Structure 1
Amino acid sequence: MEEIQLEASLSKSSPLSEAPTVVDLEASLQRELDTLWDYENEAENFTIFRTPHNISQTKKNLFEPSVISIGPFHHGQKHLRAMEEQKMRFLRDFLSRRDHISLDRCIFEMKSLEMRTRRCYNEMFDDLDSNAFVKMMLLDGFFVIDYFSKWYGGRNMNEVGWNSNFIDRDLLLQENQIPFFIVDKLFELIGVNQDDRMIYVKYIAYKLLPNRSIIQDPRTETPYTRITNSLAGFPDPPAEIHHLVHLYYHYLVPNPGTPVVLSTKPFDHTTKFQTSCIAFSLSVALPNSTRNISSMVIPSATELKQKGLKFTRKSNPKHMLDISFEYGVLKIPTLEITDDTKPIFSNLIAFEQCKYGKENNPFTSFVYLLDNLVNTPNDVTILQECGIIENWLGSEEELTHFINQVTEGAGIGDDHYLAELFTEVNKYVESSWHRHRAKLIRDYFSSPWAIISLIAALILLVLTLVQSFFAVFAYFRPP
Structure 2
Amino acid sequence: MEETQIDIVVGEVSRLAKSMQSDPFWGKTNEANNFTIFRKPHHISQSKKKLFEPSVITIGPFHRDQKGQKGLQLQAFEEEKWRLLQGFLSRSSISLDLCLKEMKSLEEETRTCYSEKSTLDSDTFVKMMLLDGCFVLEYFLQLFIGKLNYSRVIYRDLLLLENQIPFFIIEKLYQIGLNQEDRLNFEKYRMSFVKYLAYMFLTLGLAKDINSIPYPPTFKKVPDPRAEIQDSIHSKIPEPPAEIPNPPDKIHHLVHLCYHYLVPHPEPRVPLNSEKGDISSMVIPSATELKNKGLKLKPKSNPKHMLDISFDHGVLQIPKLAITAENKPILANLVAFEQSKHANKDLPFTRFVIFLDNLINTVSDVKILQKCGIVENWLDSEKEVTQFINQFTEVDFFERDHYLAGLYMKVNGYIKSNWDQSRWKKQRAKLKREYFSSPWKAISVVAAFILLVLTCVQTFYAVYA
TM range (shorter): 0.7 to 0.9
Does the alignment pair 1:183 with 2:170? Answer: yes
Q: Distance in 1 between matches of 2:368 and 2:40?
A: 33
2:394 match: 408
2:199 match: 202
Mark the CA change 1:470 to 1:396 in structure 2 (over 3 Å): closer, same or farther: same
- Residue 203 of structure 1 aligns to which amino acid in structure 2? M
1:96 match: 90
RMSD of aligned residue pairs (Cα, Å): 3.9
1:299 match: 285
CA contact (8 A) 1:353 1:361 kept: yes
1:243 match: 253
Does the alignment pair 1:232 with 2:240? Answer: yes
How far is 1:343 from its partner? 0.5
What is the aligned counterpart of 1:437 among 393, 401, 422? 422
What is the aligned counterpart of 1:111 among 104, 108, 114? 104
CA contact (8 A) 2:41 2:339 kept: no
CA contact (8 A) 1:367 1:407 kept: no
Does the alignment pair 1:47 with 2:26? Answer: no
CA contact (8 A) 2:354 2:393 kept: yes
Q: Deviations over 1:238-262 (max 9, x none)?
A: 33211000111111111143699xx
Q: Distance in 2 between matches of 1:383 and 1:440?
A: 28
Q: Distance in 2 between matches of 1:44 and 1:111?
A: 22
1:265 match: none
Mark the CA change 1:106 to 1:222 in structure 2 (over 3 Å): closer, same or farther: closer
Provide the aligned length of Structure 1 versus Structure 2: 416
- Residue 377 of structure 1 aligns to which amino acid in structure 2? V
Does the alignment pair 1:363 with 2:353? Answer: no
CA contact (8 A) 1:371 1:404 kept: yes
DSSP-derived class of the 1:325 partner: strand
1:120 match: 113
Q: Deviations over 1:388-441 (max 9, x none)?
A: 11111111111111110034244253222212222222223234x425528957
Mark the CA change 1:413 to 1:466 in structure 2 (over 3 Å): closer, same or farther: closer
1:313 match: 299
- Residue 325 of structure 2 aligns to which amino acid in structure 1? D
Does the alignment pair 1:254 with 2:267? Answer: no
Mark the CA change 1:451 to 1:337 in structure 2 (over 3 Å): closer, same or farther: farther
Q: Deviations over 1:281-315 (max 9, x none)?
A: xxxxxxxxx97243222222222222222211111
Q: Distance in 2 between matches of 1:254 and 1:438?
A: 44
How far is 1:156 from its partner? 3.9
Mark the CA change 1:98 to 1:116 in structure 2 (over 3 Å): closer, same or farther: same
Consecutive unaligned residues of structure 1, counting only runs of 5 or more, are 1-20, 158-162, 261-289, 445-449
Does the alignment pair 1:386 with 2:372? Answer: yes
Q: Deviations over 1:175-230 (max 9, x none)?
A: 0001101111111102444424453233222233235776555xxx5461673331
Mark the CA change 1:296 to 1:316 in structure 2 (over 3 Å): closer, same or farther: same
- TM-score with structure 1 setting the length: 0.76
1:129 match: 121
1:86 match: 80
1:144 match: 136
Mark the CA change 1:38 to 1:30 in structure 2 (over 3 Å): closer, same or farther: closer
DSSP-derived class of the 1:330 partner: strand
Mark the CA change 1:259 to 1:451 in structure 2 (over 3 Å): closer, same or farther: farther
1:157-196 matched pairs, under 5 angstroms: 157=149, 164-191=151-178, 192-195=183-186, 196=193
Between 1:420-429 and 1:248-257, the stretch displaced more is 420-429
- TM-score with structure 2 setting the length: 0.78
CA contact (8 A) 1:345 1:406 kept: no
Mark the CA change 1:148 to 1:430 in structure 2 (over 3 Å): closer, same or farther: same
Q: Distance in 2 between matches of 1:442 and 1:435?
A: 12
Between 1:145-154 and 1:71-80, the stretch displaced more is 71-80
Consecutive unaligned residues of structure 2, counting only runs of 5 or more, are 1-11, 187-192, 226-237, 271-275, 458-465
Q: Distance in 2 between matches of 1:294 and 1:426?
A: 6
- Residue 52 of structure 1 aligns to which amino acid in structure 2? P
Q: Deviations over 1:3-47 (max 9, x none)?
A: xxxxxxxxxxxxxxxxxx999988765543x444533x3222211
What is the aligned counterpart of 2:60 among 46, 49, 71? 71
What is the aligned counterpart of 1:338 among 278, 303, 324? 324
Runs of 4+ in 1 over 4 A off after TM superposition: 21-30, 211-217, 438-444, 450-456, 458-474
Q: Distance in 2 between matches of 1:442 and 1:468?
A: 20
